[in-house]
């Protein structure tokens, strides 16, 4: 029976690929009913670089959050992430189903790549198919696929695995010749512009070369060095573009001087990721991480021992040794807490690294163990165990997808899983404050978020900043002007690169008739974020009040260039131009406002 199944898979690879693609698509089809959640709303619905078709070039000129602040320090340069949103928005507008469809299609296509890699490495069709199925149903991937903001993971995952598949084919056909590695290097290059985790790709190649003997067509390491130069060239080109856009490689300090705390955190994170991989319970995008508790067990050292023993598989079982090392090498960029924001421990980080473990598990259960079990009747047990795992993982995945339906559902579920996550309490505070008008309840949540954030391994500037803003607005609403000003000033000291605190201060002085003072704050807001529509509009209004009509027109023009649908800005600009005596220009602006 198994032999016939192997023969069918070998003779019908296209049908097998189509069936695998369809299975994965159906598995995640429930996510098509989900909406925009959490960062989706900022990165898509409130992102002028996505909404305005003329601003696409700015996507490549700054960080992933540059639409909110031009100077805010971040390690994330992911232009293909936001550009993907830009393309989908052009095709379907603000329709969440279209964005989710892209995610599901990318995941289904990537599952086929996993299957092709498994066919090449495992050289057993049934084990390769089982590997792809195990990877497709793994619950840790729900976050990456069901969340629109996780396009960096599905994007880099597709091109990363495509690059590795092409690398394997180059090894088997072209050897170390540079031309044979051009296409895999190009795929790697594209993966880098989706997510920085793709930097582990060259390490994966070195690990493959360590565990595998040189192909017959390669004379020695010299040829491999020539081939590796293609990937080195891709990194150099990427870093050049990254520095040109951001002005730096990383905000995390020296990459080579690694503090002991970072090493301890990396070991703890590796352990926690491994535990989640084999026991994916309490899935949650707001997962917290504690260094001390993660190290107070023997498991980290046992994990290191397993990796050390895997080095000895080079001669006996090179494929298994390589696949075991795929896991920590793929995770390596996500183990440096200096490079991370929140959460430090994210399920989506396992997206590509889990490929190695899934292939290794199927190699052991479907190839090695059946050959070594004493009786034929026991040879089916590993396969049965694997089948059960695939079924259970699939059920868990289907049940987890609806948790991403909307913000309310995601927040309620996440709060049950991680009640000590500071960002969750900030979200709860915002809901109480602006949706329910519960000022006292919101104040308590803001204070709780600040306390939990301060006690975390890596406090988030954004959480502290937003809490100060919220507390300042509550104080202002309750008549405590001086207290509100103190909170807004604290927010400025925490993050002078963000515009909302400047807007808040300007909004205090504007209704009091202190237009010059308000204009100063609004001007600082638009310097921090040139795409700040409210800051632009209020600054223009201040200039109108102060009789500076040309300056006012300039600000209104800047506002409607960011958002061409901002009709109020057109009319305000026309009035400013008329006040400045530029009636022809005012008429031209009104004509522009009437264009579809």
- Segment 537-549, tens digit of pLDDT: 999 999 999 999 9
Q: Is residue 191 packed enough to be buried (19+ CB in 10 Å), middle (13-18) or exposed (0-12)? A: buried
- Segment 119-136, tens digit of pLDDT: 999 989 999 999 999 999
pLDDT computed for residue 219 by the predictor: 47
Contact 462, 65 (CB under 8 A): no
> pLDDT band for position 176 (50/70/90)?
low
- Segment 298-349, tens digit of pLDDT: 877 788 888 888 888 888 899 999 999 999 999 999 999 888 888 999 999 9
> Which helix (DSSP H) or strand (DSSP E) does residue 168 occupy?
helix 151-173
Could you tell me how far CA 122 lies from the centroid of its own chain? 30
pLDDT computed for residue 75 by the predictor: 86
CA nearest neighbour of 23 among 166, 118, 129: 129
pLDDT computed for residue 377 by the predictor: 57
Alpha carbon distance 550, 576 (integer Å): 7
What average pLDDT does this structure show over 362-383? 76
C-alpha neighbours within 13 Å on the C-beta side of residue 180 = 20
pLDDT computed for residue 179 by the predictor: 77
pLDDT computed for residue 311 by the predictor: 87
Alpha carbon distance 473, 477 (integer Å): 6
Alpha carbon distance 200, 356 (integer Å): 13
- DSSP label at 551? H
> pLDDT band for position 457 (50/70/90)?
confident
DSSP-based three-state secondary structure for 531: coil
Q: Could you say which architecture CATH assigns to the domain 420-498?
A: Alpha Horseshoe (1.25)
Give yes or no for residue 167 having a pLDDT over 70.
yes
Among 4-8, 20-24, 387-391, 565-569, which is the least confidently predicted range?
A: 4-8
Average pLDDT across the chain, whole number: 91
pLDDT computed for residue 400 by the predictor: 95
Phi-psi region of 437 (alpha: psi -120 to 50; beta: other; left: phi over 0): left
Alpha carbon distance 154, 147 (integer Å): 10
Domains 420-498 and 517-596 share a fold: yes
| 3-state per-residue secondary structure call for 196-262 | HHHHHHHHHHHHHHHHCCCCCCCCCHHHHHHHHHHHHHHHHHHHHHHHHHHCCCCCCCCCCCCCHHH
Query: The tokens 């010059």 sit on which residue?
Result: 516
Q: And the tokens for 334?
A: 């996500």
| 3-state per-residue secondary structure call for 53-103 | HHHHHHHHHCCCCCCCCCCCCCCCCCHHHHHHHHHHHHHHCCCHHHHHHHH
pLDDT computed for residue 596 by the predictor: 66
N-term to C-term CA, the chain:
65
pLDDT computed for residue 175 by the predictor: 53
- Segment 503-529, tens digit of pLDDT: 999 999 999 999 999 999 999 999 999
> pLDDT band for position 171 (50/70/90)?
confident
Give yes or no for residue 67 having a pLDDT over 80.
yes
Tell me how crowded residue 61 is: count the other CB atoms within 10 A of its CB: 13
pLDDT computed for residue 112 by the predictor: 98
Contact 559, 540 (CB under 8 A): yes
pLDDT computed for residue 359 by the predictor: 97
pLDDT computed for residue 318 by the predictor: 92
| Cα angle: 51, vertex 409, 335; to 5 degrees | 75
| Cα angle: 47, vertex 516, 572; to 5 degrees | 50
Domain extents for the chain? 2-404, 420-498, 517-596
CATH number of 517-596: 1.25.40.10
- Segment 203-258, tens digit of pLDDT: 999 999 999 876 555 546 677 788 888 999 999 999 999 999 998 888 876 677 88
| pTM over cut 0.95 | no
């Amino acid at each position: 029976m198994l032999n016939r199944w192997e023969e069918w898979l070998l003779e019908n690879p296209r049908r097998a690929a189509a069936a695998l693609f369809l299975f994965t698509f159906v598995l995640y089809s429930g996510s098509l009913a989900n909406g925009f959640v959490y960062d989706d709303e900022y990165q898509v619905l409130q992102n002028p670089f996505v909404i305005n078709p003329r601003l696409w070039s700015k996507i490549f000129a700054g960080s992933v959050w540059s639409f909110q602040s031009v100077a805010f320090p971040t390690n994330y340069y992911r232009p293909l992430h936001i550009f993907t949103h830009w393309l989908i928005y052009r095709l379907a507008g603000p329709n969440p189903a279209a964005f989710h469809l892209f995610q599901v299609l990318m995941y289904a296509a990537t599952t086929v790549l996993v299957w092709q890699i498994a066919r090449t490495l495992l050289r057993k069709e049934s084990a390769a198919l089982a590997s792809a199925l195990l990877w497709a149903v793994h619950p840790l991937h729900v976050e990456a696929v069901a969340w629109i903001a996780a396009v960096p993971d599905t994007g880099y995952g597709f091109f990363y695995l495509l690059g590795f598949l092409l690398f394997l084919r180059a090894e088997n056909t072209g050897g170390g010749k540079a031309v044979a590695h051009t296409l895999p290097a190009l795929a790697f290059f594209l993966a880098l512009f989706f997510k920085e985790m793709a930097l582990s790709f060259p390490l994966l190649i070195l690990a493959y070369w360590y565990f595998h003997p040189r192909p017959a067509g390669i004379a020695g390491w010299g040829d491999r060095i020539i081939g590796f130069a293609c990937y080195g060239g891709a990194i150099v080109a990427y870093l050049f573009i990254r520095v040109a856009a951001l002005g730096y490689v990383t905000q995390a300090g020296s990459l080579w001087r690694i503090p002991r705390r970072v090493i301890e955190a990396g070991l703890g994170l590796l352990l926690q990721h491994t535990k989640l991989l084999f026991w994916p319970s309490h899935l949650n995008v707001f997962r917290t991480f504690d260094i001390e508790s993660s190290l107070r067990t023997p498991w980290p050292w046992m994990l290191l021992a397993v990796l050390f023993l895997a080095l000895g598989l080079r001669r006996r079982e090179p494929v298994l040794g390589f696949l075991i090392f795929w896991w920590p090498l793929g995770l390596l960029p996500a183990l440096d807490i200096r490079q991370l924001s929140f959460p430090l421990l994210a399920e989506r980080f396992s997206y590509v690294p889990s490929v190695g473990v899934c292939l290794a598990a199927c190699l052991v259960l479907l190839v090695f163990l059946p050959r070594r079990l004493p009786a034929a009747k026991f040879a089916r047990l590993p396969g049965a165990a694997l089948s059960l795992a695939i079924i259970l993982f699939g059920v868990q995945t289907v049940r987890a997808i609806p948790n991403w339906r909307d913000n309310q559902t995601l927040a309620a579920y996440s709060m049950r899983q991680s009640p000590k996550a500071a960002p969750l309490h900030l979200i709860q505070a915002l809901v109480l404050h602006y949706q329910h008008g519960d000022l006292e309840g919101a104040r308590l949540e803001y204070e709780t978020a600040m306390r939990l954030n301060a006690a975390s391994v890596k406090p988030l500037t954004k959480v502290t900043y937003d809490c100060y803003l919220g507390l300042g607005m509550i104080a202002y609403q309750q008549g405590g002007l001086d207290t509100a000003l103190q909170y807004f000033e604290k927010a400025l000291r925490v993050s002078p690169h963000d515009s909302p605190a400047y807007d808040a201060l300007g909004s205090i002085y504007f209704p009091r008739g202190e237009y010059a003072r308000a204009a100063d704050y609004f001007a600082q807001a638009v310097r921090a974020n040139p795409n700040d529509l409210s800051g632009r509009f209020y600054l223009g209004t201040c200039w109108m009040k102060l009789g500076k009509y040309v300056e006012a027109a300039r600000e209104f023009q800047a506002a409607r260039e960011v958002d061409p649908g901002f009709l109020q800005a057109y009319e305000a600009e026309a009035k400013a131009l008329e006040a400045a005596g530029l009636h022809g220009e005012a008429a031209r602006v009104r004509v522009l406002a009437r264009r579809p």
